[in-house]
Amino acid sequence: MNWITKIIKAGEKIKTAFHERATKEDIAKSDWTSCCKGPILKKDLENNLFVCASCNKHHYISPTQRFDIMFGKNNWQKIESPQPPPDPYNWQDTKKYTDRLKDAKKITGQDNAILSCEAKINDIEVVVSAVNFKFIGGSISMAEGENVLASIQVAINKKCPYIFISASGGMRMMTNMLSLMQMTRMTVGINELRKHNLPYIVVATSPTTGGLTASIASLSDVCIGETGATWAFAGRRIVENTEKSQLPENFQTVEWAQKKGGQIDMVLDRKDIHPTLGTLLSILLKQNSVISSEQNETSEVSQSLTREAS
């Protein structure tokens, strides 16, 4: 055996000693994911609403998963919306924009980054829109703007509240100014809701950033932050370079925004969001039986005290 053969065999041994890195497809097909204590069964995570039982980390969920959690499977109806021309600028960077759209549609099973539906919370009809971050970072372009406007119109027609669940990197720069225009268009839609005295609630999930934070995510009557969610406009590094100072550890979280900025009204675990929405909607629509019962109890106590005093 000459020295060349020895080197080749040694190289083969070294190669087999290392495991090949798992691809995205392998990770997606695996029954396991990872969290604070290492591997965890996806099924166990799903049974706990995709929240880690050890560290309370709220793992990402898609709009479909969230709707199934909130309303139950087959208890919500998808809202269709117009599909504008997808690529007016014929954009291409390292990849054609049209190819990115095809990949995003294949990965998410959605036509665009926003999925909207009609459903009920405590027998109250609602229209809900949720952003899918896996669709090109949940970025907003013309199709997403049309989806929001179509959903708001359904809410106005049905005279019911509108709930927006955010998870976005901001506006989609592949469509340039046409993307930025959606900030104004969606804001006009929210103003129409207000003209009809309809409640508008935002649930900020991770991440809520960029132009979405700068537009309709910040215009709600009530804003609920999901535990641990990122809430920001510009990135942390940009803010640090601008301010020339070290930022707090929890900067740009919904917890920080609630405590320091007042932009978030409350921060809730995923399991508490649905029942809280029911309570809020009952109050806003003056359908709160809990308040009525409390008022009755208070009235009874007052009458009892009056009798005793006399």
Q: Could you tell me the mean pLDDT of each successive run of 10 residues in the chain, 310 residues long?
A: 67 62 71 88 93 94 97 96 94 95 97 98 97 97 98 98 97 95 97 96 97 96 97 88 85 93 94 97 75 46 44
Cα maximum dimension of the chain: 113
- The answer to whether residue 35 sits within a structural domain is yes
**Domain presence at residue 198:** yes
Q: What is the pLDDT of residue 116?
A: 98
**27, part of any domain:** yes
- When divided into structural domains, the chain yields a total of 2
pLDDT for position 244 = 85
Are 21 and 82 in a shared domain?
no
Which residue range forms the structural domain that includes residue 277?
61-285
The answer to whether the CB of 151 falls within 8 A of the CB of 76 is: no
In this structure, the answer to whether residues 206 and 91 fall within a common structural domain is yes
Q: Please indicate, yes or no, if residue 257 is contained in any of the structural domains.
A: yes
Residue 299 lies in a domain: no
Cα–Cα distances in angstroms (integers) from residue 1 to residues 10, 48, 92, 171, 185, in the given order:
13, 59, 54, 63, 75
Residue 2 lies in a domain: yes
Same-domain check for residues 55 and 191 = no
Shared domain for 165 and 239, answered yes or no, is: yes
> Residue 17: what pLDDT?
55
Q: Note whether 19 and 149 are same-domain residues.
A: no
- pTM reported for the whole predicted model: 0.84
Q: Does residue 300 belong to any structural domain of this protein?
A: no
Residues 7 and 132 in one domain: no
Looking at the fold, whether 234 and 87 belong to one and the same domain comes out as yes
pLDDT of residue 237: 86
Instruction: Map the chain to HEC letters.
Output: CCHHHHHHHHHHHHHHHCCCCCCHHHHHHCCEEEECCEEEEHHHHHHCCCECCCCCCECCCCHHHHHHHHHCCCCCEECCCCCCCCCCCCCECCCEHHHHHHHHHHHHCCCCCEEEEEEEECCEEEEEEEECCCCHHHCECHHHHHHHHHHHHHHHHHCCCEEEEEEECCECHHHHHHHHHHHHHHHHHHHHHHHCCCCEEEEEEEEECHHHHCCHHHCCCEEEEECCCEECCCCHHHHHHHHCCCCCCCCCEHHHHHHHHCCCCEEECHHHHHHHHHHHHHHHCCCCHHHHHHHHHHHHHHHHHHHHHC
Residues 90 and 50 in one domain: no
Say what the pLDDT of residue 179 is: 97
Residue 235 lies in a domain: yes
Q: What CATH number does the domain containing 94 carry?
A: 3.90.226.10
Pair 39, 152 in one domain:
no
16 and 105 part of one domain = no
Is residue 128 located within the same domain as residue 107? yes
- What is the structure's pLDDT at 2? 67
- Count CA atoms within 13 Å of residue 114 on its CB side: 33
pLDDT of residue 242: 87
Domain endpoint, select from 12, 32, 60: 60
pLDDT of residue 125: 97
**What's the CA gap between 90 and 97, in Å, rounded?**
7
pLDDT at 24: 67
Does 19 share its domain with 33?
yes
